[in-house]
Amino acid sequence: MLTNLMIVLPIFALILTGYIARKTDTLGPNATREVNRLVVKLALPALLFDIMANADPAEVWQPGFILAFSVGCGVIFAGTVWLRLRHGSHLADAAIDGLNAGYANTGFIGFPLVLAVVGPSGMAATLVASIITVCILFGIAIIIIEVALQSEASRGAIVGKTLISVAKNPLLVAPVLGAFFLVSGIPMPGPLDEFLKLLGGAATPCALIALGLFLAQNGARKPRAGVKVQFLLIALKLIGQPLLTWIVAVPLLGLPDEAARTAVLIAALPTGTGSFMLAEFYQREALLTGRVVLISTILSLVTLTALLAVWP
């Protein structure tokens, strides 16, 4: 547990920094919105572009791992969206809840944890999981949200406006442009690569600070969806996703032990900040999402430790 604590401690420190900054009025009431816009409009697109453009095709192509991890997060995401729609949620809120249950914190926790537990040989698989989570799953959620927020009566108008919104969304355009560099083999100019790393490196810390700012300003309110939904999403993330990933990876596909263990370990990570960024950016129920991110990160100290004890 000490290893896990050392890895997640900076996350809590950044959230606490945002919390204190708002409580002491170091940052004003508009800071949450503006910091989050910095992440969504600038830092995260740079990070997505950088991830895709610098991926090694030979390392990325791991079909067994891709299938196991994709089924785990994809089924949990789709099942959560379906379940929340059945209970009367708006489609945009259901998509964000799908991310709450299926979006693993691969960037901030995944890489250091896999490096500590599996070793350098697990880094390529962690990159693959990051691409699936941060680029593909995230992109699907954004498209669903954009469709859900269109109000035109005509189906053609809805499709047209959605396509325009998607084409203008830097969170979707950036990984597509990065994939062009990946597929074409065009080398990334050194200054551009350094610029993207500097800007993209601000994405996660700024998102965590924004979460702390938001909780300081809204923490006394109760989530509209209720505590039961909050803990259902956390249970799906910390227990449902790794269990489903294990079923696909081990009994069904029979993956090698290291690949299966890495897939399950990443699937067991707590909810990443991506769902909170979208909830705040699109002005949905960000309080529920913020609490899911925070509580799942705290509880993952127990669940990840238990997983590592059972499967050392």
pLDDT score at 2: 61
Per-residue pLDDT of 237-253, as tens digits, reads 999 999 999 999 999 99
Nearest-5° Cα angle at 81, 91 to 155 = 35
Mean pLDDT of the region 37-53: 84
pLDDT score at 188: 78
Mean pLDDT of the region 160-186: 74
Q: Within 10 A of 176 (CB to CB), how many other CB atoms are there?
A: 14
Mean pLDDT of the region 210-231: 77
Residue 45: HSE in the Cβ half-sphere, 13 Å Cα cutoff: 15
Split at pLDDT 50, 70, 90, the class of 4 is low
pLDDT score at 232: 94
> Which residues lie below 8 Å from residue 238, measured CB to CB, with a gap of 6+?
268, 270, 296, 299, 300, 303
Specify the higher pLDDT residue, 71 or 227.
71
Average pLDDT taken over every residue of the chain: 84
Separation of alpha carbons 238 and 269, rounded Å = 7
Range of 93-102, 156-165, 195-204 with top mean pLDDT: 93-102
Residue 273: closest CA among 5, 8, 80, 6: 8
Torsion of CA 93, 95, 97, 103, to 10 degrees: -150
Q: For residue 228, is pLDDT > 90?
A: no
The per-residue b/e assignment along 56-79, b for 16 or more CB within 10 angstroms, e otherwise, is: eeeeeebebbbbbbbbbbbbbbeb
Separation of alpha carbons 210 and 17, rounded Å = 9
Residue 298: closest CA among 227, 238, 214, 239: 238
pLDDT score at 264: 95
Split at pLDDT 50, 70, 90, the class of 269 is very high
pLDDT score at 75: 96
C-alpha pair distances (Å), 60 with each of 28, 56, 176, 191, 280 = 43, 6, 16, 25, 32
* 2-310: CATH number: 1.20.1530.20
Q: For residue 216, is pLDDT > 60?
A: yes
Split at pLDDT 50, 70, 90, the class of 186 is confident
Q: Which two tokens stand for residue 1?
A: 């547990």
Specify the higher pLDDT residue, 249 or 164.
249
Per-residue pLDDT of 95-135, as tens digits, reads 999 999 999 988 778 878 888 888 888 878 888 888 888 88
pTM of the entire structure? 0.83
Q: Which two tokens stand for residue 226?
A: 């209720």
Q: Is the dihedral of CA 180, 183, 187, 190 positive or negative?
A: positive
User: Which SS3 state, helix, strand or coil, does residue 90 take?
Assistant: coil
Q: Give the lowest-confidence range in 70-74, 75-79, 98-102, 288-292.
A: 288-292
Split at pLDDT 50, 70, 90, the class of 167 is low
> Which residues lie below 8 Å from residue 155, measured CB to CB, with a gap of 6+?
none
Secondary structure (DSSP) of 202-268: THHHHHHHHHHHHHHHHTTSPPTT-HHHHHHHHHIIIIIHHHHHHHIIIIIT---HHHHHHHHHHHT
- With contact defined as beta carbons under 8 Å apart, do 238 and 270 qualify? yes
Mean pLDDT of the region 201-218: 83
Domain boundaries, the chain: 2-310
Split at pLDDT 50, 70, 90, the class of 57 is confident
pLDDT score at 96: 94
